[in-house]
Chain A
């Protein structure tokens, strides 16, 4: 298991206790601390002797940020399967056992991720699931295998729900520097998902295997209750209001091109081809954002299904139609 920490003292004890209570305990816990200045490191040090499994804590000399910190931690992990943990979550006792079962049952599986219950700051369950609040539940529930094309289109999972087989980790490391772009970062979990789907099968487990904590300071956001409506309004304004997203699309195209190159180098030509189709789509959308593409081109892109087929796709087509019409 790898756990990346940064000033996580508030919820870390709950997480660590939940790791100790796993029915199938981890073989090792790699903790990579990213220059915390609270009690995080002391808490890990105090936890280690009674953990029941080796805890290997290392502190970065300079702050790396979440993605690169995970890159360092993953490089230190030695397990055949590596599960990722966030410092603020709560793992249910069966999580590791269930994940291990999935890997054991099918050697082609390179990554397993699950749904999660949303929990409040006081550990209370909020009655909602992670997948549904991110609006990806319908797709994941209908097909429990997720392809590289799906991951190239949009992020479908978050690190703390994931476990990855060693050969996918080896293929994913080192994390490319292009991931850390300030305008459009591509996080470690999406990169790992892309690579894992390239080099094997990614299984989505619909059961909630952990509590995903919703709080103001988390890096991975979810849309709960009224926030969802407000986020839609913000997104609509952002997209239709003409504010340029062209750079974001260009950046994403470059990042995905790196993923395609890596797939090519490993001989995953099919995956590379699928990712490059999404790269071309991002370049199309960048051109739309710059006002360089006609309505006809948007219609053609939509007709060929390159926007996808879900409600995100519908919103994207609508926004691009507005932009292309405005250009006309």
Chain B
């Protein structure tokens, strides 16, 4: 079969707010091969700051649906899709996946459906009732960013194993090329010889800042004197959590070490201005931010919670500790402190090389393009990431 036109892809998310799934969708939209793909984007609920990062050639629609069964919006969406003769709808987010499945079930659209699952709550909710399982079983390809998700899709949601593929997320390296570093050291008043760590992530329970505070508390006063941590992320997402963190910083007397800088839009520059990156999440499917630290040339300290952490744990460019384990994190901090500045920088350079070799967004995108071709019956060369540790779950 010969394809006469480029594959028309619609990337679909719930919104364009700052988040891992949305970031992946935007990166994919920007890096799909334009010789072979026409790319459009739809945020089915709301827009957001990531909209500004979409390439100029990507037509975007913010639909503003209120629910899965928002029929007027569904009719508008279907019309929009038909008008553009979309071949592949690539959804991110379960709400949008259900919305698109419904549109297909009602016969409003005939496009193929690829679902990219980034679900972050498998640690508290592994249910797959009919309202979720049936739409999942109807997708043409299920791309899970974490092997635990793939196992869940197969064993609990009943998705055909032949349609399930592990697709680890990547990072758009161009965002980290030629970045002018923010002078974080001066901004927080850190001494020249202090080791400056950056932790990027909104202040919400999943990111588990308290384990970091407890780890810092376990260090000796001399060790603490040599560390400064800049926490970058919105403090208004969960005000109770933020208040709890502030109280804990005070109670554990680590206020001299930890600097809550709030939300910032210059993450690559902030990362470039630090000595190491921190990700202490208690549960993640990524975390993508570890790749961003590596792309920014930083060694990292991360918890062993998601597919990316698992994939980079043995590269020797950072420390991976069990989640919620303040003692192990404190030990990793001590090892970081023991490194000379040059050894740290060497580790960071190796991290950047590793991320370029294994997690370049362009390579991830090529794999996704292979899935598109397979779904369309164009002889797709489906390359999966190696199938994974947790399929035995």
Contacts and interface: CB of A to CB of B under 8 A. Distances in A.
Partners in one complex: yes
B248 A267 contact: yes
Range of interface residues on A (Cβ < 8 Å): 20 to 34
Binding site secondary structure of chain A: mixed
B283 interface: yes
A47 interface: no
A145 interface: yes
A200 B281 CA distance: 11
Interface in B157-212: 205, 208-211
Contacts of B15: none
A132 interface: no
Interface size class of B (residues with CB under 8 A): 20 to 34
B106 interface: no
B393 A145 contact: no
Interface string A250-276: 000000000000001011111001000
Contact of A143 (B127, B244, B283, B303): B127
A101 B324 CA distance: 20
A167 B328 CA distance: 10
A112 to B, nearest CB: 12
B124 to A, nearest CB: 5
Interface in A130-186: 142-145, 147, 167
B240 A108 contact: no
B300 interface: no
Given A105-B389, A145-B126, A147-B124, A167 B248 contact: no
B122 to A, nearest CB: 8
Interface string B237-279: 0001100110010000000000000000000000000000000
B123 A145 contact: yes
Contact of B390 (A106, A147, A268): A106
Interface in A272-328: 273
A110 B323 CA distance: 10
Contacts of A143: 125-127
Interface of B: 122-127, 129, 148, 205, 208-211, 213-214, 240-241, 244-245, 248, 282-283, 303-305, 322-325, 389-390, 392-393
Interface of A: 101-102, 105-108, 110, 142-145, 147, 167, 199-201, 264, 266-270, 273
Given A267-B208, A268-B205, 5 more contacts: A108-B282, A201-B124, A267-B210, A267-B248, A269-B205
